[in-house]
Chains A and B, each alone.
Chain A
């Protein structure tokens, strides 16, 4: 019996590169064979012969043959990825890990809390929710960015998404520091969690962002009254092989790559070092 080689990437073409901010770009990709992910799952993207890193796609899971990945320039591999141009060839493996459990969100008031490039997985989740919006009571998407120019998906976050379904879908946008053009909220993303018009008993919240933001957003949600089993986190760990073998992304008795990266907070709250 032939076993599929889990380390072999799929040849993938870069269709387009979108500049989101000074250090964040979205890459529109077309893999040679289908790679069908669900929102929250991740893929391994490689520059042939140079290196590989894990990313959660930011596009809709309902788009069958293409996907988008939003990447912040942060290290060796992401710097190489940032120099990619339309037509370049990359490698993709996956999808890996557990997706957001959409069926558990049905009939609920859904609160998404995202910071910086952490909006990427939440965009995929948001698009999946919007796709079947009648299944959910409503969605509030709280987005935090450092400055107005750091906001990613600007045309959506600042415009289009506000007009999707005014009754069911609301957004709260904030920046840590404003500039002259900014007329909106100023403050950390946690400030958007004040005065929520949500029935907490029938709500779930999903958080994604840099570790420090995830920590304080989670603590704020607990303070507001969310129970640990109503909070979902996307944990950023060093997911290298993606298939639970290489050992890098261990989180207590879990591997973020196969048991996560989406975890319900009550399942991991006892683990040391989760916020680091």
Chain B
């Protein structure tokens, strides 16, 4: 069911005014928004030109939003010094993040922001950052969010969400931070009344179209994915899937919910520094210990582990999948491993 949105708490902002809003926010934030290149969307820093090149609607960018909160490489210690960072950078604002990326914060916040050990590098970015998200206005070939219970429009983890409509957007605050920004820029916003019906029907239509598209993939109903995975744990499905896997780790890197990293120590002049870098569970060394024991020696075991983590572990641990249906891994895989196809094979005998 699509929750009907009422005029309560919704505002209209036209395109020139959104540009003005972005320019105003740029005093406080370093702003990134997707821009198109080669028919794909990539996050680009917003400069003096404002949002002219930006694509607020359409679908997710190629790179996941995790890049901004959990970068591929972060210096996490300069030991043995207690000081944490050299210079204070502006916090990051993202305009145009999509629902599949926002859903991944459930996983990332659980891993990095939960007591007793909180990751100060992630937490400070989350607390200081700003997210102005937006509805998808179409779907990509590999998109399947609706199949696992995520809508193609944001429902959580945004400060302000934008639903595109002719000439502008309907803005919905999702946090006190978002409300404050709207209040402080009230001259840029108008009543959303005339647009509500259209926005609701746009959402409904996209959800229906995407559901129709996803049907072709035969993904098990979301409530039976975990059971299906468990029933196939010991099957030869994983060896079949592993046949074309080249252990490149692209699926891990591009996944908005893959959180694993490796700590790497190095010398930097007279200092020693420690880097936190993305790691891939598909690599042979991932679970290996010094003595040589390795619980996942076989590639098939490692591939299965990836699905285990996403469709079993996180469901048990925090009640959500470690997959948001963004389809990036399918696009990134040089071995043409399609996550939807693997899911569909879980329920076939």
Bound Cα distance A265, B286 (Å): 24
Task: Tell me if B292 counts as interface (CB < 8 A to partner A).
Answer: yes
A149 on the interface (CB 8 Å rule)?
A: no
| Interface-side segment among A102-110, A135-143, A243-251 | A243-251
Q: Is the CB of B286 within 8 A of A248?
A: yes
Q: Contacts A49-B272, A273-B295: A8 and B287 contacting too (C-beta < 8 A)?
A: no
Collect the chain A residues with CB atoms within 8 Å of residue B281's CB: 247
Neighbouring A residues of B293 by C-beta, 8 Å: 210-211, 236, 276
Bound complex: CA A165 to CA B258 (Å): 53
Does B117 lie within 8 Å of A74, measured CB to CB? no
Contacts A7-B276, A211-B293, A245-B117; is A240 near B263 (CB within 8 Å)? yes
Known A3-B120, A74-B290: A246·B77 in contact at CB below 8 Å: no
- CB of A187 closer than 8 Å to a CB of B: no
* Interface of chain B residues 186 through 224 with chain A (CB within 8 A): none
- A window 39-98: CB within 8 A of B: 46-53, 72, 74-78, 91
A46 and B265: CB pair below 8 A? yes
Known A-B contacts A245-B119, A247-B281, A276-B297; the reply to A7 vs B263 at CB < 8 A is yes
Assess whether A241 is interfacial by the CB under 8 Å rule.
Answer: yes
B271–chain A nearest beta-carbon distance, Å? 8
Q: Give Cα distance in the complex from A181 to B49, angstroms.
A: 84
Our pick among B84, B233, B259, B291 for the contact of A5 (Cβ within 8 Å) is B84
Chain B, residues 290-306, CB within 8 Å of chain A (1/0): the string is: 11111111000100010
Q: Is B267 in contact with A49, judged by CB distance below 8 angstroms? A: yes
Residues of A within 8 Å of B79, CB to CB, are 8-9, 11, 46, 48, 91
**Does residue A14 face the partner (Cβ distance < 8 Å to B)?**
no
Q: Is the CB of A74 within 8 A of B313?
A: no
Q: Which residues of B contact A249 (CB under 8 A)?
A: 287
Identify which of A11, A50, A238, A274 contacts B265 (C-beta below 8 A). Answer: A50
Using CB atoms and an 8 Å cutoff, list the residues of chain A in contact with chain B.
2-11, 32, 46-53, 72, 74-78, 91, 210-211, 236-238, 240-241, 243-250, 252-253, 258, 272-274, 276
User: Contact residues of B with A, CB < 8 Å?
Assistant: 76-77, 79-80, 82, 84, 111-112, 117-120, 123-124, 233, 259-263, 265-268, 272-274, 276, 279, 281, 286-297, 301, 305, 309, 313, 316-317
